[in-house]
Structure 1
């Protein structure tokens, strides 16, 4: 691991080496870029649906914007991942940030002048997420290249902490204040955040993409190769099955959280968001100690423990409908989810060859996001036929069974991609 004096070196063959480690200046710049852009994302995640609801009062418009925000993960993510594997990741992230920054600033101007119609809202939501599918896959490559194999746990720990703090805490709080003053200011801040992040990305080392012998293969063929590698690799396949199970359970819980908080826990409506704050606090707290826990207990056992903790959080909420237990339960959920997110991201990155990182990451995300509506759709009927608490208990059961079935594979699967052992 390279420490603070980390200028890139040139080896005897003339190849420029990229300094690696979470203590390098390059990784610090990447984290600053992530932090700034994620706070902007947190502002927009709150402001866009809120502005749509306030300005239109139309459920169809709100639904259309919500669909436009997630649709690119189903339509664009797979080709985006394949293209990212062909291109230089720094350039991809830089172009995505600049493009999103200019688009969002333009949207802020349209909103301020009264030209933000529903078609404009839908188009902006779709394009911003489409660009995010490229930036997300390319950022995975930058993280792996700049952190290095030895520091992946620490790198993902920092990323999960920053993501949670930006998207779930700082961004929403800033959005609340800005929206009360001037809704357009929310999107102006978001646009500026992308441009500031782009400045830091531009200063990163120009990491070269992994070239494959089949560099001239058709895009469709390369997309299929990424999906096949993900589903045929035992270790990655286990991760996918667990992540899908947890995502379906979480989406079911998320769908009825507000109603459960108001109707069952008797929490006043203005305080309902504090449940999400409790969950974010749990995630940030555990993410910072995951690397030390891995060194002491091992990655596999800790992954299983994280799933058990997540299931326990769901179960606690379903069994003990009390406000204090509500906040405690979401704190426990945050701990379990945060630890699992750090560990599963690290395991996936280590098991994926660099030449397929973009495609595997995008396929992984498509499967997760694509199946989440199943959980949300089942939550309502289950609550009607039984109770809101039953949804939490079923979520606990799904995650618990997934932990039981995946325990042995999680302990036995390797940690380095076979083609790229170092």
Structure 2
């Protein structure tokens, strides 16, 4: 075990977990600011809807291209150091973007490159963070720490960050990106204080080319997730939840304007209701898992997300829509906390990075299909029909996944 100055995991995992949650919080605040400010900047600089969409897509493309290799890499190196380097990569990218913007050189392709590099840093960081957390947290505290982590991230990113992003951009277009760069530097500094075990590296292979060995590592990770019934169910279900959620988000603005008859400004407030529900769900997720058990918590949260979709579809009341959307956000957060903690507890340390890459590839890869599918349903049956369809899909999923969850003793 590494020994040096800083917070030693062996001496106090709780302290190390607090550093980790703190790093996630400041980084999430910067992310929320950037998520709000980057589309605004792209709109101002490019003045073309398709080009703005290209910039947005560039931030998610790295998950499709590098999710699996990044997961394999996270299983071979010191994960804490990889997280620090990912933060520094993103901070450096933002500093370069600020320089290009100040010089008037931040046109389409430099902006796409910035968005892409930020996405690469996110992929590396997330694969390493998922694998690193169980090394600084006792197994029985995984839900508690993940609950705090998700709640802090949602509060900082989806509530505070999104509001600050617009306000800071209005003050000066450089400011939100400078704040985001500082947030990554603070995150790296907090993570640098943690001293603990490095990753349990993948079994060393001396034969063959490095690329061949990387492919073997990726193949092993895919085979492990695909061959484990519980992980397979969690992964596919997460993909369907994400597809429904993104599909409903895609048509939510139509529902707000055409069904509820509200001005565009009200859309942001209703979206914030979902984020607030997520914060509350994150705050209670660990208690729900302890009192009800993991399997009832997973099935109950899945049912709540589905019921929330039906609730939105069944009313023209703004208040009811806000409550239902908040309930759906709470359900998603409880699912995330419990499912992530369960995955962390059952996946061997040497495979956690690769398993994260596989999980994210499936879970996030289904989101664009959800947006397209629910956009078609909305055109055919209206936005209420899209919400109703999503609710039915998730409620119908409950009895399908319940047997797999209940018969696997690892799910508790």
TM range (shorter): over 0.9
Q: Following the alignment from structure 1 to structure 2, what is the Cα–Cα distance between the partners of residues 203 and 169? A: 28
Shift of 1:18: 2.8
1:302 equivalent to 2:270? Answer no
Deviations 1:80-112 (A, max 9, x none): 100110000111011111121121022112212
1:39 to 17, 20, 29: 29
Shift of 1:379: 1.8
Q: Following the alignment from structure 1 to structure 2, what is the Cα–Cα distance between the partners of residues 157 and 215? A: 38
1:177 equivalent to 2:167? Answer yes
Deviations 1:376-397 (A, max 9, x none): 1112221222221000011001
Q: Following the alignment from structure 1 to structure 2, what is the Cα–Cα distance between the partners of residues 233 and 298? A: 21
Q: Following the alignment from structure 1 to structure 2, what is the Cα–Cα distance between the partners of residues 356 and 416? A: 19
Q: Following the alignment from structure 1 to structure 2, what is the Cα–Cα distance between the partners of residues 340 and 44? A: 26
1:150 equivalent to 2:145? Answer no
Shift of 1:373: 1.0
Aligned length: 402
Shift of 1:411: 2.1
Shift of 1:292: 1.8
Q: Following the alignment from structure 2 to structure 1, what is the Cα–Cα distance between the partners of residues 7 and 164? A: 37
1:80-119 pair list within 5 angstroms: 80-119=70-109
Is the Cα contact below 8 Å between 1:235 and 1:351 reproduced in 2?
A: no
Q: Following the alignment from structure 1 to structure 2, what is the Cα–Cα distance between the partners of residues 318 and 343? A: 27
1:5-404 pair list within 5 angstroms: 8=8, 18-19=10-11, 21=13, 24-216=14-206, 218-404=213-399
Is the Cα contact below 8 Å between 1:246 and 1:398 reproduced in 2?
A: no
Q: Secondary structure at the match of 1:386?
A: helix
Shift of 1:320: 1.2
Mind listing any 5+ residue stretches in structure 2 that lack a counterpart?
A: 1-5, 207-211
Q: Following the alignment from structure 2 to structure 1, what is the Cα–Cα distance between the partners of residues 260 and 399? A: 30
Q: Secondary structure at the match of 1:86?
A: coil
Deviations 1:275-320 (A, max 9, x none): 1211111111121122222222111111100011111100000111
Is the Cα contact below 8 Å between 1:382 and 1:391 reproduced in 2?
A: yes
Q: Following the alignment from structure 1 to structure 2, what is the Cα–Cα distance between the partners of residues 331 and 209? A: 38
Q: Following the alignment from structure 1 to structure 2, what is the Cα–Cα distance between the partners of residues 358 and 230? A: 12
The alignment yields a C-alpha RMSD, in angstroms, of 1.7
Q: Secondary structure at the match of 2:16?
A: helix
Structure 2 vs 1, CA of residues 198 and 257 (structure 1 numbering), >3 Å: closer, same or farther? same
Deviations 1:54-83 (A, max 9, x none): 222101211110111110000011101001
Q: Following the alignment from structure 2 to structure 1, what is the Cα–Cα distance between the partners of residues 241 and 55? A: 26
Shift of 1:19: 4.3
Q: Following the alignment from structure 1 to structure 2, what is the Cα–Cα distance between the partners of residues 90 and 330? A: 36
Structure 2 vs 1, CA of residues 416 and 386 (structure 1 numbering), >3 Å: closer, same or farther? closer
Q: Following the alignment from structure 1 to structure 2, what is the Cα–Cα distance between the partners of residues 380 and 211? A: 44
Is the Cα contact below 8 Å between 2:68 and 2:358 reproduced in 1?
A: yes
Mind listing any 5+ residue stretches in structure 1 that lack a counterpart?
A: 1-5, 9-16, 418-422
Shift of 1:7: 6.8
Is the Cα contact below 8 Å between 2:246 and 2:368 reproduced in 1?
A: yes
Q: Following the alignment from structure 2 to structure 1, what is the Cα–Cα distance between the partners of residues 296 and 218? A: 33
Q: Following the alignment from structure 2 to structure 1, what is the Cα–Cα distance between the partners of residues 381 and 34? A: 36
1:407 equivalent to 2:367? Answer no
Q: Using the TM superposition, name which of 70-79 and 344-353 deviates more.
A: 344-353
Structure 2 vs 1, CA of residues 242 and 416 (structure 1 numbering), >3 Å: closer, same or farther? closer
Is the Cα contact below 8 Å between 1:89 and 1:207 reproduced in 2?
A: no
Q: Following the alignment from structure 1 to structure 2, what is the Cα–Cα distance between the partners of residues 19 and 275? A: 44
Is the Cα contact below 8 Å between 2:238 and 2:363 reproduced in 1?
A: yes
Greater share of residues in helix: 2
Is the Cα contact below 8 Å between 2:74 and 2:124 reproduced in 1?
A: yes
Q: Secondary structure at the match of 1:343?
A: helix
